[in-house]
A and B are shown apart, each in its own frame.
Chain A
Amino acid sequence: EVQLVESGGGLVQPGRSLRLSCAASGFTFDDYAMHWVRQAPGKGLEWVSGISWNSDTIGYVDSVKGRFTISRDNAKNSLYLQMNSLRAEDTAFYYCAKDTNYGDYVGAFDIWGQGTTVTVSS
């Protein structure tokens, strides 16, 4: 079964850090680009970051540049999001998502995890 399972969310104070993980199974992880997408409570979807199969191509939404770092470990079939200097506006449900494309990403997400909640509050 193709599956993505996120972990690492929680309640954190503004300015602190958090690391999200996404464990992939059921497909050849190192063939595909991967992404993080978030959804603030009651709001729409927002693409956060994406990474190509070999980590050569990486992108971020402007609001997280310099604070968040996406990475992957193909040997462990895992995707990560290191979130530093967290702000209240980062509060959201964070999804891990698989790109439809081999190699570089095209921003179409065919497999989604169930998500993990990040709450930034003092």
Chain B
Amino acid sequence: QSALTQPPSASGSPGQSVTISCTGTSSDVGGYNYVSWYQQHPGKAPKLMIYEVSKRPSGVPDRFSGSKSGNTASLTVSGLQSEDEADYYCSSYAGSNNSVVFGGGTKLTVL
């Protein structure tokens, strides 16, 4: 049950695109199409932004997109807006012992 690996920080200017990576193993990210991404603003509960690698829940802007290649998943935020500044976490179903694992989180700064 090792945590997924995310960069601690990412940044971009308004209107630009930024991609956040999430690296796991064949036992989690690479083994299942159950990767999710969450946005968390300070003092707030997390919000689901992407699930099953690339699906967006109702109400999430299409500026947010997800993908996966091998053991690495990615979240891309296009057309950055100031309200996108937040912490972003990835997670994956890990199968063994019915577990779920999160990444360490990435702080996204909109310059």
Interface centre among B57, B92, B93 (most CB of A within 10 A): B93
Q: How far does the Cβ of B25 sit from chain A's closest Cβ, in whole Å? A: 15
- Write the chain A residue with the least CB distance to B51: A108
- Write the chain B residue with the least CB distance to A114: B45
Judge if A112 is at the interface, Cβ distance under 8 Å. yes
Give the interface size class of chain A: 20 to 34
A47 near B101 with CB under 8 A, answer: yes
Judge if B91 is at the interface, Cβ distance under 8 Å. yes
**Complex Cα spacing A13 to B47, Å:** 32
Judge if B30 is at the interface, Cβ distance under 8 Å. no
Beyond A47-B102, A106-B52, whether A95 also contacts B45 by CB under 8 A is: yes
Give the interface size class of chain B: 20 to 34
Task: Please tell me which stretch of A15-23, A56-64, A71-79, A82-90 contacts chain B, meaning at least 4 of its Cβ atoms lie within 8 angstroms of it.
Answer: A56-64
B38 near A45 with CB under 8 A, answer: yes
**B residues near A114, Cβ cutoff 8 Å:** 45
Write out, one digit per residue, whether chain B residues 93-106 have a CB within 8 A of any chain A CB (1) or not (0). Answer: 11001111111110
Beyond A107-B36, A107-B92, A109-B36, whether A59 also contacts B51 by CB under 8 A is: no
**Complex Cα spacing A60 to B20, Å:** 27
- Write the chain B residue with the least CB distance to A61: B1
Interface centre among A59, A107, A113 (most CB of B within 10 A): A107
Give me the 8 closest cross-chain CB pairs, A-B, nearest first: A59-B98, A107-B100, A108-B51, A107-B93, A112-B45, A47-B100, A44-B105, A108-B36
Since A44-B89, A45-B102 are in contact, a sample of 11 more A-B pairs with Cβ atoms closer than 8 Å, ordered by chain A residue number, is: A45-B46, A45-B105, A47-B99, A50-B98, A61-B1, A61-B99, A106-B32, A106-B34, A107-B36, A107-B94, A108-B36
18 pairs from A and B in contact (CB 8 Å cutoff)? A35-B100, A37-B102, A46-B102, A60-B97, A100-B51, A100-B52, A105-B93, A106-B52, A107-B93, A107-B94, A108-B34, A108-B36, A108-B48, A108-B52, A109-B46, A109-B91, A110-B48, A110-B51
